[in-house]
């Protein structure tokens, strides 16, 4: 029974209360007795302990999540075994999206978009690390006290570039109501499968019901493959057409019809009017790039050519001045607000909310054309045969540089990735297309997965014409062994170059793994003189651990 661990000590963790029960594990609130903080402790159910497959999957969840350091991915603090119990310790976030949806009909569109942005950002990080989650659903989306989404439970996750035995065996894993069509058919998966599950999750959050329901899992899976989802707006009419279109695109049967990447999905969510910081919340709408179209051919009398030249010169000068002013204003707005420019053809497909703005942009051109036509219109006379055709030349703004010059640096042994593409080692520079979000990653390939400092991720905006130089700090972890007396002493390592302080009891200091660098060392105990020193933690010959000994002088 799950209550068998209540009040027990599992390693350094004291189990306080039961949080949830899963098919393979039980989740508890526990207290880390070393750090004196609350954690979520997931323990493999006893009937699976000792089973090689179950333990492998359980540990894989921990190692995969530990690799993916991101504010919207749950942080794994520890993994181990104690007295036959296999456990994973994580940050404690007791509320999930599933629990919230169980007590409310549906969420407002703005909140759905906000949570969707967080989940898409987490998936972008996971996919950049070569990991497909394969079980995105409300129960696996945790919520922080601030209402941010945090993706958890990588138990079904699979490395894209790793062993595909699970795909080759055609096993169908996951939760049927959130299956992608290709997942239901047992086909090989990529990141777009997670985007489909994100679409189901957003459908559920926005409407209060699932797109497909049935008598059993086979019936539901068949609908994922064959049936079109209902329109979300028929269930919740106040949803915007743009948000509905985005959900239905995520739910496309063909992966090619969905967004190509989670980053693209995040960009589309961020562009919605109801998105945080979107047009409905005071942000500047996207403005169209301006192009003056050629006027139709005009045949003119010979005696009026001089009049034409003067009129044409004045009109062209006015148009050039207007276009230049508009371009300067548009570029200034884009620079200040992060607004990207769209092609003129996109202006023709403006949404109703944009129509007034787009009409204002086109009005000066229309007025200039009408004024010029009125000025040159013949006085109800038929043009003589000796008139000449004339076309007003097309005035096009100077080409805008649409790329960013990017330079990445890291330690020589670090691999560098840009949007999940390996670009070099140690140093790389080159041109990248302008993008609202680009994932940069540096990772030491010889470091253990438990070493947080061995990988560094950053999401940046690449604006057209910018030149960015970014240094990604990654450091190997070194094993540190200290013998400290008395046993109840507290041992603290404070990084001098910045970073979190590590504080443990003396018996836990016998083996620590810390990032290389300079540290201020402090050991203290009741009725003892405090020991203070400074050390430099560095790689030892042949990977040997650094060792030290501290004996406090006590009364």
Q: How confident is the model over 48-59, as pLDDT tens digits?
A: 776 777 777 777
Please write the tens of the pLDDT for every residue from 239-269: 999 999 999 999 999 999 999 999 999 999 9
Q: Indicate the pLDDT class of residue 341, thresholds 50, 70 and 90.
A: very low
Is it the case that residue 20 has pLDDT exceeding 70? yes
The answer to whether 158 and 80 have CB atoms below 8 angstroms apart is no
Residue with tokens 């109501």: 177
Pick the more confident residue, 331 or 448: 448
Domain boundaries, the chain: 2-91, 95-281, 298-390, 403-471, 477-551
Pick the more confident residue, 323 or 296: 323
Please write the tens of the pLDDT for every residue from 169-209: 344 556 889 989 998 888 888 999 999 999 999 999 999 99
The answer to whether 287 and 333 have CB atoms below 8 angstroms apart is yes
CATH of domain 95-281: 1.10.510.10
Indicate the SS3 state at residue 143: strand
Share of the chain above pLDDT 70, in %: 72
Q: Which fold has domain 477-551?
A: Immunoglobulin-like (2.60.40)
Is it the case that residue 303 has pLDDT exceeding 70? no
C-alpha torsion angle, residues 450, 451, 452, 458 (rounded to 10)? -110
Contacts of 329 (CB under 8 A, 6+ apart): none
> What pLDDT, on a 0 to 100 scale, did the predictor assign at position 51?
72
* 224/181 Cα distance (integer angstroms): 5
- Residue ranges of alpha helices (H) inside 338-462 are 344-347, 352-376
* 364/317 Cα distance (integer angstroms): 13
| Rg, Å, the chain Cα set | 31
Please write the tens of the pLDDT for every residue from 423-432: 888 899 888 8
* 36/410 Cα distance (integer angstroms): 35
Cis check: omega of the bond before 486, within 30 degrees of 0: yes
Contacts of 358 (CB under 8 A, 6+ apart): 288, 347, 350
Residue 95 β-bridge partners: 143
Write b or e for each residue in 46-73: b if 16 or more Cβ atoms lie within 10 A of its Cβ, otherwise e.
eebeeeeebeebbbbbbbbbbbbbbebb
Pick the more confident residue, 249 or 359: 249
* 125/120 Cα distance (integer angstroms): 9
* 463/401 Cα distance (integer angstroms): 10
Pick the more confident residue, 272 or 453: 272
Pick the more confident residue, 8 or 136: 136
* 218/222 Cα distance (integer angstroms): 6
The residue among 445, 405, 448 whose CA lies nearest residue 426 is: 445
Report DSSP state, residue 553.
Answer: -
* 278/280 Cα distance (integer angstroms): 5
Average pLDDT, the chain: 75
> What pLDDT, on a 0 to 100 scale, did the predictor assign at position 156?
60
Long-range contacts of 141-144 (CB under 8 A, 24+ apart): 141/96, 141/97, 141/98, 141/115, 141/201, 142/74, 142/93, 142/95, 142/96, 142/97, 143/93, 143/95, 143/96, 143/97, 143/100, 144/93
> What pLDDT, on a 0 to 100 scale, did the predictor assign at position 313?
52
What tokens does 299 get?
Answer: 């045949």
Share of the chain above pLDDT 90, in %: 27
Is it the case that residue 504 has pLDDT exceeding 70? yes
Pick the more confident residue, 349 or 86: 86
Measured in degrees and rounded to the nearest 5, phi and psi for residue 152 equal -130, 180
Residue with tokens 């990988």: 455
CATH of domain 2-91: 3.30.200.20
Q: Indicate the pLDDT class of residue 116, thresholds 50, 70 and 90.
A: very high
Is it the case that residue 514 has pLDDT exceeding 70? yes
* 359/396 Cα distance (integer angstroms): 19
Indicate the SS3 state at residue 53: helix
Residues forming the active site: 135
Strands (E), 318-474: 388-390, 403-409, 414-418, 421-425, 427-433, 435-444, 455-462, 467-471
| HSE-CB for 445 with a 13 A CA cutoff | 10
Pairing type for strands 298-300 and 388-390 reads: antiparallel
The answer to whether 88 and 118 have CB atoms below 8 angstroms apart is no
Please write the tens of the pLDDT for every residue from 363-374: 333 444 444 444
Residue 404 β-bridge partners: 432
Please report, for residues 67, 222, 280, 295, 418, the alpha-carbon distance to residue 216 in angstroms, rounded to integers and kept in the order given.
36, 10, 42, 64, 43
């Amino acid at each position: 029974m799950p209550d068998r661990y209540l009040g027990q000590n599992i390693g350094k963790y004291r189990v306080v209360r039961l949080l949830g029960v899963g098919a393979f594990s039980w989740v508890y609130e526990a207290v880390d007795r070393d750090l004196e903080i609350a954690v979520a402790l997931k323990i493999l159910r006893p009937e699976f302990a000792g089973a090689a497959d179950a333990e492998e999957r359980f540990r894989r969840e921990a190692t995969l999540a530990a690799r993916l350091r991101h504010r919207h991915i749950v942080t794994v603090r520890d993994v181990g075994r104690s007295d036959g119990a296999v456990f994973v310790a994580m940050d404690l976030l007791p509320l999930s999206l599933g629990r919230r949806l169980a007590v409310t009909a549906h969420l407002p569109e703005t909140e759905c978009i906000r949570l969707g942005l967080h989940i898409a950002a987490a998936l972008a990080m996971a996919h950049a690390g070569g990991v497909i989650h394969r079980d995105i659903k409300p129960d696996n989306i945790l919520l922080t006290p601030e209402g941010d989404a945090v993706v958890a439970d990588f138990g079904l996750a699979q490395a894209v570039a790793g062993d595909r035995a699970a795909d080759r065996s055609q096993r169908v894993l996951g939760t049927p109501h959130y299956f992608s069509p290709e997942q239901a058919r047992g086909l090989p998966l990529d990141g777009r499968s997670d985007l489909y599950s994100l679409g189901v999750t957003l459908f559920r959050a926005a409407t209060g019901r699932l797109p497909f329901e049935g008598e059993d899992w086979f019936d539901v899976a068949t609908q994922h493959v064959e049936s079109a989802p209902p329109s979300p707006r028929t269930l919740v009419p106040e949803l915007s057409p743009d948000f509905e279109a985005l959900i239905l695109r995520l739910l496309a049967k063909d992966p090619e019809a969905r967004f190509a990447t989670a980053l693209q999905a995040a960009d589309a969510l961020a562009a919605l009017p109801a998105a945080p910081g979107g047009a409905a919340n005071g942000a500047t709408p996207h403005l169209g790039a301006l192009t003056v179209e050629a006027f139709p051919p005009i045949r003119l009398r010979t005696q009026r050519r001089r009049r034409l030249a003067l009129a044409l010169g004045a009109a062209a000068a006015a148009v050039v001045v207007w276009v230049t002013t508009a371009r300067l204003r548009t570029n200034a707005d884009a620079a200040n607000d992060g607004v990207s420019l769209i092609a003129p053809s996109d202006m023709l497909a403006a949404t109703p909310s944009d129509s007034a703005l787009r009409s204002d942009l086109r009005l000066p051109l229309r007025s200039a054309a009408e004024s010029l036509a009125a000025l040159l219109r013949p006085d109800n006379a038929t043009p003589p045969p000796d008139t000449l055709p004339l076309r007003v030349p097309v005035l096009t703004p100077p080409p805008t540089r649409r790329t960013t010059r990017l330079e990445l640096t890291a330690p020589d042994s670090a691999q560098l990735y840009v949007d999940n593409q390996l670009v070099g080692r140690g140093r790389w520079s080159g041109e990248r297309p302008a993008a609202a979000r680009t994932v940069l990653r540096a990772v030491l390939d010889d470091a253990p997965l438990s070493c947080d400092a061995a990988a560094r991720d950053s999401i940046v905006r690449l604006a057209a014409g910018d030149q960015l130089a970014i240094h990604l700090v990654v450091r190997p972890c070194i094993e540190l062994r200290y013998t400290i007396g008395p046993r109840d002493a507290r041992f603290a390592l404070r990084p001098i170059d910045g970073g979190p302080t590590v504080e443990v009891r003396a018996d836990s200091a016998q083996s620590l793994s810390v990032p290389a660098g300079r540290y201020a060392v402090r050991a203290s105990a009741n009725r003892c003189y405090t020991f203070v020193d400074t050390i430099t933690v560095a790689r030892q010959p042949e990977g040997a651990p650094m060792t030290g000994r501290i004996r406090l002088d006590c009364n």
